[in-house]
Structure 1
Amino acid sequence: MADLILQIAVSLDGYIEDEKGSIDFMAGDTSLDAVHTATLRSIDGMIFGRKAHALLAAFWPSAGRTAGASAALSEQAELMNTLPKYVLTHGEERTGWANSHAVTTEDVAGLKLRAKRPIAVYAGAGAAQALMGQIDEICLIQYPVLLGSGTRLFDDGIRRDLALMESRAFASGVVLQCYRVGQVSVRTPSGRRRRI
Structure 2
Amino acid sequence: MRKLVAFEHMTVDGYAASAEGLGFEFTWRAYSEELSAYGDEHIRADVDTALYGRATYLGMRDYWSAVPDDPAASQHEQVHAEWVNGVEKIVFSTTLESAGWTNARVIGSDVEAQVRALKAGPGGTMQIYASPKLVHSFVGLGLIDEFRIVLHPGTLGAGTPLFPDKSALDLDLVESKAFASGAVYLRYRVA
TM-score between the two structures when normalised by the length of structure 2: 0.87
1:75 aligns with 2:76: no
1:145 aligns with 2:154: yes
Aligned residue among 29, 34, 38 for 2:37:
34
Aligned residue among 124, 136, 142 for 2:131:
124
Larger Rg: 1
Change (3 A) 1:178 1:41: closer
User: Whole-Å Cα distance in 2 between the matches of residues 51 and 78 of structure 1?
Assistant: 21
If asked which structure has higher relative contact order (CA below 8 Å, sep 6+), I would say 2
Identity, in percent, stands at: 30
Aligned residue among 111, 120, 123 for 2:118:
111
- 1:172 to partner: Cα distance: 0.8
- 1:64 to partner: Cα distance: 4.6
Number of positions where the alignment pairs a residue of Structure 1 with one of Structure 2: 182
> What does residue range 1-196 of structure 1 map to in structure 2 within 5 Å?
1-20=1-20, 22-27=23-28, 29-30=31-32, 31-38=34-41, 39-90=43-94, 93-103=97-107, 104-132=111-139, 133-182=142-191
Give structure 2 stretches of 5+ with no counterpart. none
Provide the aligned C-alpha RMSD in A. Answer: 1.8
TM-score between the two structures when normalised by the length of structure 1: 0.85
User: Whole-Å Cα distance in 2 between the matches of residues 67 and 61 of structure 1?
Assistant: 13
